[in-house]
Structure 1
Amino acid sequence: MAQLATRKFDVVIVGAGGSGMRASLQLALAGLNVAVLSKVFPTRSHTVAAQGGIGASLGNMSEDNWHYHFFDTVKGSDWLGDQDAIEFMCREAPKVVYELEHFGMPFDRNPDGTIYQRPFGGHTANYGEKPVQRACAAADRTGHAMLHTLYQQNVKARTNFFVEWMALDLIRDAEGDVVGVTALEMETGEVHILQGKTVLLATGGAGRIFAASTNAFINTGDGLGMAARAGIPLEDMEFWQFHPTGVHNAGVLLTEGCRGEGAILRNADGERFMERYAPTLKDLAPRDFVSRCMDQEIKEGRGCGPNKDYINLDMTHLGAETIGKRLPSVLEIGHNFANVDITKEPIPVVPTIHYQMGGIPTNIHGQVVAPKNGNPNEIIKGLYAVGECACVSVHGANRLGTNSLLDLLVFGRAAGNHIVQYNDKLKE
């Protein structure tokens, strides 16, 4: 049997989405030799599809602080999130957003030059008293802008990208430490070994296991499979989020930013029914709650259309100028996937599978943990995981909108910093 070609790096990262590239940037800037494997070109990773914004209590539009963000995230998680991890994420949020701004992220701006922030579901001021504008946005293409910014910075930092390479399995030594991965070079069909002092999994979620999904076709849970085959148990895999506004019969996501800008959910009677269910937050209640309310309306016969099987999302009152400026991608999606001009008529939507809350169990440094010798959080040396494939767990049973991109930035950065320290210790 021919011997597999072997390449050696300080760190091997599987996945080139937001969390993978934020970690790789931190590592490359520290002078480490980093390899990033991706099934697709990095800027085609699923992070590019994120639309609404990045949650951070900058307070550019009104009074806000991390305590309010923390409260909203804990409540939004249905009280099942790890509160220490949530506190860490909410405290770090302004810092990672300002770092991204300095990297060149083209955020929308207020007249005074500060970052524009829009309202988003479940985000409130003064512990639930009223909605707050917390989502740092680049029109409705925030993920696109963020991913391209991170890619450009990684190119500048000379990160090694292996494009159209698919990781197959983790490699563990006799002590159980992770020391690399096997990977398929898709162009040639050859299998390679990539050795690393550290391996970081940033492979995204597994949303394509559902028939109707907002997820890209690449979201097939590769990292979860690699971890499971290596004997690592997964956490909270029963928790899946249904986004309230997937295009009916298409599954394509319409950002929560639509409702943040003032769009209204209406039933067949034209009623703004969320006023009955959530008098304070209305259409901007947490996603799981809004999805259940929509389902209830449909089941009780108030759905729209000939089959009464969807809800209308109405943006006509916003005006063509606002929609063109703040929601250009949504305008395009309406034309392409629903044959609807959203400036003139409502667009049909239904709750659609969107996000995986569970994943590979980690601590706030991104280190993968597993039960061993009576310790439920035994660290697996050499293995890290970040992003949607990981479970810290800051999202509990339900994620707040804008906390996904924030999760990628905060824990991608944290894992990068910790790996630098880990590799330094290996040299001693």
Structure 2
Amino acid sequence: MTDIKVDHIIETDVLVVGGGGAAARAALSAAQAGANVRMAIKAKWLTGGSTATAFSELLAIAAAIGHADERDHPEIHYEDTLDAGRGFIDPELVWTLASEVPHRIQDLIDIGLNFDKQENGKLVQGMSDFATYPRTCRVNGVTARHILVALGKQIKKRGVPIDENMMVFKLITDNDQNISGALGMNMETKEITLYKTPSVILACGGAQHIYKHAVGTSDMIGNGYAMAYELGIPLVNMEFIQIGPAAIKPSMTLLSGPVWKTKPILTNSNGENILEKYVPENVSIDEVYTEKVFPFTISSAAYYLDTSIQKELELNPTPNGGVWGIMPPGSEEIVQEKIPKTNGVLKAKGIDVFNDPFEVALVAQCMNGGALIESPDGTTKVAGLFIAGETAGGLRGPDRPGGNSLAEGQVFGHRTGQAAAKHAERSTNSANPEGKSHAALEDLADWIGRSKGKQELNDAIVSLKENMYKNCLVIRNEERLNDAMTYIQELEYSLENGEFNIDQENFSAAIDFKHMLTIAKSIVLSAQTRTESRSCHYREDYPEKDDANWIKSIFVTQQNGEMSVDTRQWPHHRKSEKSEVKL
């Protein structure tokens, strides 16, 4: 049997798994609360995940501070967010988000973040989808990155240790099912670290990269979801994934709503205009462009743009699996007016959008589902396990209002940091995680010892991504989903029964692959179960929205080693007192 042992033991009050905006906020808040905090991140600090790499013309953080329109208040932010997911999301979490994000904006200002300001000194605020009033605050077009850097400076000042290239892959619980530790592996040295801790915060992003094309970095394959699922935490709303168009070469550039106001011409490899090919006569192509936002939704004529792209990806693709895009003649002025940042980014990559056709494909951008949290403190049914950011489920349903993602990271990162610190302080857990970690590593060693087959992991990972891209993208139906599920089950069988070639050099990839299969399966099972079309979930064989039967969330849970499905309709309202929050 292969020998795998713990090389390092590190004790800490709070372990934060992840390195994005939510994780950084959680680590800072836990440290401010007096806890001994450590961060474990899968990539290099400030380089991985969504926050460090996010880009869009509209990228900003939503907060009802009333600087653009004094009529905006947290109650309206609350109602706008609830309207986007009523029956699918927890009103208590939504209220926490809306009422507390103004305070988190002030925190960021206090640590030196320089939001764009009007001449009168108030913050510039922009409109976003589902917003009644202009609500999003931005920083020089790359808001997410600036937030992360500002938090990073504070984390450095407090001396919080950061373990880079560390893939946390297993959560350890005591006999009472309380968190007692976590196992991580250094991706470079292959050494195993046991973290002895009573509090773990999972804030390690989503699972976009189980698809062939995705934004963010390739390490985002759902480790946090999978580790939570293994402990019995439900995964909720997993069928709702934000997918939309992006320029895919030479690197990924998201094409957000404003891009489509310039009416770029889309053609397939045969030179055919794909919108002219697929948009029916009773629908105006101008309407398709006007209505187009990011992500895909069935709620408007923009539906034809994304579905036309997918159809041509399968019929007449460009060399890298897309369609061609180019700006129409005479559009220089509107391009400069509507999308100066996107144009600048593409130009920096060597693309002249007026003369160089660029390849456009559909990409996964954000998971609206996640591992269910039980309270505004990010608690779960496992004591000592907290979840924040995109890893957390219960706050995002079929739609996610623009600017809420960064807001969620700050609000719930702060709350989980404080709660995890308090839990560690009052924890009387004297359990020794060494025993259970040793057993977990023995199981891992046994698995590696049995895995001497001829199939190559990297080939299987690529094929899984391609299968999900083909069968569970924006066009879904029973045949596609059944094909995806059959393929996932075949891969699960092969992985469990030693048909892959796994050794100590590639077993981190094997763990990733196992996690990817779990999350892919949860997405496909949820999509199979939801026999209707709603927002970003389009069932070609069930094209209508079915409010009578489907205003409810799908929960995927591990029970007796099997993946089971349940549903739940959340309350539609929460009674709350009026709150005045201004900056």
Please give the TM-score of this superposition, normalised by the length of structure 2.
0.61
Per the TM alignment, residue 406 of structure 1 is displaced from its structure 2 partner at its CA by: 0.5
| 1:59, distance to aligned residue in structure 2 (A) | 1.7
Query: 2:249·2:358 contact (CA, 8 Å) conserved in 1?
Result: no
Quick one: distance in 1 between partners of 2:335 and 2:348?
20
Offset, 1:277: 7.0
Q: How many residues align?
A: 399
Match of 1:356 among 340, 352, 367: 367
1:382 is the counterpart of 2:384: yes
Look up the match of 1:85.
Answer: 93
CA–CA distance in structure 1, aligned partners of residues 52 and 26 of structure 2: 17
- Pair 1:246-2:246 in alignment: yes
Q: Deviations over 1:327-354 (max 9, x none)?
A: 53x2343225582347x99977555321
Q: Does 1:39 align with 2:42?
A: yes
Structure 2 SS opposite 1:57? coil
Matching residue's letter, 2:382: I
Q: Distance in 2 between matches of 1:299 and 1:200?
A: 38
Residue-by-residue CA offset, 1:64-115 (whole Å, 9 max, x unaligned): 2222222221222365222221111111121111111111112222112222
Letter in 2 for 1:354: Q
Task: Give distance in 2, aligned partners of 1:284 and 1:97.
Answer: 30
Contact conserved, 1:287 with 1:400, CA < 8 A, in 2?
no
Distance in 2 (alpha carbons) for counterparts of 1:318 and 1:12: 48
- Percentage of pairs with the same residue: 23
SS of aligned partner of 1:380: coil
* Alignment partner, residue 102 of structure 1: 110
For structure 1, the residue ranges without an aligned partner over 5 or more in a row are: 125-131, 370-378
* Counterpart residue identity of residue 24, structure 1: A
Q: Which residue of 1 aligns with 2:224?
A: 223
**Counterpart selection for 1:119 from 116, 121, 127:** 127
Deviation at 1:385, TM superposition (A): 0.9
Give 1:309-328 correspondences, 5 Å limit.
Answer: 316-318=332-334, 320=336, 327-328=340-341
Displacement after TM superposition at 1:293 (Å): 3.2
Give the equivalent residue in structure 1 for 2:60.
53
Residues 270-315 of structure 1 show CA distances to partners (whole Å, capped at 9, x for unaligned) of 999687479xxx54767443786334257679x99x9895777887
**Structure 2 vs 1, CA of residues 109 and 236 (structure 1 numbering), >3 Å: closer, same or farther?**
same
User: Deviation of residue 6 (structure 1)?
Assistant: 1.2
2-side partners of 1:99 and 1:357: how far apart? 26
Q: In structure 2, what is the Cα distance between the partners aligned to 1:425 and 1:68?
A: 37
Partner residue, 1:25 = 28
Deviation at 1:144, TM superposition (A): 0.9
Partner amino acid, structure 2, of 1:137: R
Aligned to 1:375: none
Q: Does the C-alpha gap of structure 1 residues 94 and 225 become closer, same or farther in structure 2, counting only changes over 3 Å?
A: same
CA distance in 1, matches of 2:251, 2:81: 26
Q: Matches of residues 149-160 of structure 1 in structure 2 within 5 Å?
A: 149-160=150-161
Distance 2:183 2:362 in 1: 38
Amino acid at match of 1:317: E
Written as runs of structure 1 = structure 2, the 5 A alignment for 1:254-333 is 254=254, 256=256, 258=258, 263-265=261-263, 276=287, 283=291, 287-289=295-297, 293-297=301-305, 316-318=332-334, 320=336, 327-328=340-341, 330-333=342-345
Separation in structure 2 between the aligned mates of residue 135 and residue 358 of structure 1, nearest angstrom: 22
The change in CA–CA distance for 1:275 and 1:90 in structure 2 (over 3 A counts) is farther
Structure 1 residues 117 and 298, CA, compared in 2 at 3 Å: closer, same or farther?
Answer: closer
Tell me the equivalent position of 2:137. 136
Q: What residue is the counterpart of 1:203 in the other structure? A: 204
Q: CA deviation at 1:319?
A: 6.6
Deviates more, 1:31-40 or 1:311-320: 311-320
- Change in Cα spacing, 1:253 to 1:13, as seen in structure 2 (3 Å) is same
Preserved contact between residue 258 and residue 293 of structure 2 (Cα < 8 Å): no
Cα distance between partner residues in 2 of 1:4 and 1:104: 40
Paired AA for residue 11 in structure 1: V
Cα pair distance change 1:422/1:92, threshold 3 Å? same
Q: Distance in 2 between matches of 1:334 and 1:290?
A: 28
Specify the alignment match of 2:8 in structure 1.
5
Q: Which residue of 2 aligns with 1:178?
A: 179
Secondary structure in structure 2 of the residue aligned to 1:7 = strand
Pair member with larger Rg: 2
The alpha-carbon deviation at position 390 of structure 1 amounts to 1.2
Matched, 1:15 2:22: no
Q: CA deviation at 1:55?
A: 0.6
Q: Whole-Å Cα distance in 2 between the matches of residues 399 and 311 of structure 1?
A: 27
Q: Is the 8 A contact 1:248 1:349 kept in 2?
A: yes
- Comparing 285-294 and 140-149, the one that deviates more: 285-294
Structure 1's 386 and 88: CA in aligned 2 closer, same or farther, altered over 3 A?
A: same
Task: State the AA in 2 paired with 1:362.
Answer: I
TM-score computed with the length of structure 1 as normaliser: 0.81
What is the CA distance between 1:394 and its match in structure 2?
A: 1.5
Does 1:75 pair with 2:83?
Answer: yes
Using the alignment, how far apart are the partners of 1:283 and 1:185 within structure 2? Answer: 46
Structure 2: unaligned runs, 5 residues or longer:
266-272, 430-583
Task: Specify the code of the residue in structure 2 equivalent to 1:254.
Answer: L
Cα deviation code 1:245-269 (max 9, x no counterpart): 422667824364746xx94456768
CA contact (8 A) 1:60 1:115 kept: yes
Greater displacement, 198-207 / 249-258:
249-258
Residue 229 (structure 1) shift: 2.9
In structure 1, C-alpha distance between the alignment counterparts of 2:218 and 2:159, rounded to whole Å: 28
RMSD: 3.5
Q: Deviations over 1:21-72 (max 9, x none)?
A: 1010001112211010011222113212233100111222223222222222
Instruction: Tell me, yes or no, if the aligned pair for 1:200 and 1:383 is still in contact at 8 Å.
Output: yes
Say if 1:67 and 1:165 are closer, same or farther in 2 by CA, change over 3 A.
same
Distance 1:179 1:230, change over 3 A: same
- Which residue is 1:373 aligned to? none
**1:190 corresponding residue in structure 2:** 191
Conservation of the 8 A alpha-carbon contact between 1:119 and 1:257: no
Cα distance in 2 between the residues matched to 1:313 and 1:425: 60
| Range moving further from structure 2, 332-341 or 88-97 | 332-341
Whose strand fraction is larger, Structure 1's or Structure 2's?
A: 1
User: Quick one: structure 1 residues 192 and 350, their matched pair in 2 at CA, closer, same or farther if it must change by over 3 Å?
Assistant: closer
